[in-house]
Chain A
């Protein structure tokens, strides 16, 4: 029963309280990042104080001179590159295996390949530590990479799986029907179909590996990747300015691959044949 004459439903715009809430929400999301950006230019050494007294760019130069920073960045890059390479191979194989056809245990395998990200990082970390001890490995680059590969595989696996689900089976059958054997079909039809998904998964895995701290602390031994270096810096307040600069650079470096990966995994005008 309509109690009063009403305007037809309109979506002409949101109410102002909603708009205010949205503005505040976005401000909240970007506030800490902005703070880092600002403090990176702070002229004072004790960077905890506010308001900012003056601005300078000298900390950027100072950071480049710091050997420990460069070592940490180098190690993180090394770990990320190696992990992604391995993860791409293992993750793509896993996705291809699980998403070909139905078989007994398929759901369980799907769960297994998602577990390292589904379960909290401490569990992955402690499992890996247990593995390292069982296999009597020396904590170092190898063990860090082993840890990172395990969850990087999940990134590649989910991306490639999602793409495989969208590729019609008839394309593979059509290729075989026209005379291409299994290997040629894989090379000519499947690989072009999943290429961007593999790359997107790889990029996401790279960013994840570069940023990872929880699992790494379990398997790093005395090595310091960049996140571990940052964590240590929290106990050194006088080093704050350099920390701020590094933090800002890290944000910039990890954000870019994400945006690129996002565009790759969702191409507009995807020609799926229909």
Chain B
């Protein structure tokens, strides 16, 4: 009966361990944290910091070796070296254009899914968005090389519709076109947009869905037309979702180096440049300095997106 204040414990080391955990909760925390933390420090954070530290070292171009002399030359080159600036500009522009394209193309789908679809149709739409999202990246890239090829589908279709000349005209526009569709800026943007479109659709859809119905009713009650309600209520409230989606489209484009090699005009992206520098050339310091750019840019973009409420939308 209730005469004992303490319950007789089953003896054993496990019970003793639990008692110790009660008296020393921090100990448990460290025991849980140690394995993953050590892994991340050893295989991610510390090597990354070591690498970034290398950006301050000198690369001797004559002997093709790295010398232990500190210099800011590699970092300065990011601003002064024309070819590097070129690379940074190209990568940044493409990332921005792709983000805009994904936003424009993805918003109608997200809007429809959030406001007009329900039940089984909606579930199927989810699957229809997730399947291309999770389908193998390299397979998708490969598929586009097939589609955009000179003897491929798009060229054939445009030819059959009599739009062959229109295609040539578009390809002639500098900054947009190229020699062929698969070596044009347009083609590259198209592929990137395809790759990241689902990543834009899902957060925007979630964001729109979260808008309480009674806000729309209130807007209507106060005399707004559907168009006004859309512009003044729905669009502003879907900004967190758009910001969240833009994190993916921007950052993923910014760091990609496979698609630019496969599609688009020649000219490096940051990723390809980093790969080249640390590869055959062995210019680790310059590669490291280049790596700083995506880190800084991504950090800035994340900070901006957080201000717009993206993390609440994820």
Contacts and interface: CB of A to CB of B under 8 A. Distances in A.
Main secondary structure of the interface of B (DSSP, over half): helix
A120 B271 contact: yes
B287 interface: yes
B149 interface: yes
A35 B146 contact: yes
Contacts of A247: 136, 139, 142-143
B149 A131 contact: no
Nearest to B42: A131
Contacts of A221: none
A260 to B, nearest CB: 11
Interface residues of A, number: 89
Contacts of A255: 131, 134-135
A177 to B, nearest CB: 11
A254 B136 contact: yes
Q: Which 6 residue pairs are nearest across A and B when measured between Cβ atoms?
A: A120-B255, A181-B18, A131-B47, A97-B32, A94-B36, A127-B48
A197 interface: no
Nearest to B40: A112
A14 B121 CA distance: 14
Given A29-B129, A127-B48, A183-B17, A47 B146 contact: yes
A1 B223 contact: yes
Given A183-B18, A227-B138, A126 B291 contact: yes
B173 interface: no
A101 B29 CA distance: 9
A122 B294 contact: yes
Contacts of B138: 211, 213, 227, 230-231
B132 A123 contact: no
A11 B197 CA distance: 26
Interface of B: 7, 9, 14-15, 17-19, 21-22, 25-26, 28-29, 32-33, 35-37, 39-40, 42-48, 50-51, 105-106, 108-109, 111-112, 115-116, 125-132, 134-140, 142-147, 149-153, 156, 194, 197-198, 216-217, 220, 223, 225-226, 229, 251-252, 254-258, 262, 270-271, 274-275, 278, 287-288, 291, 294-295, 298, 302
Main DSSP-derived SS at the A contact region: helix
A92 B224 CA distance: 50
B11 to A, nearest CB: 12
A113 B35 CA distance: 12
A36 B44 contact: no
A230 B44 CA distance: 27
B290 to A, nearest CB: 9
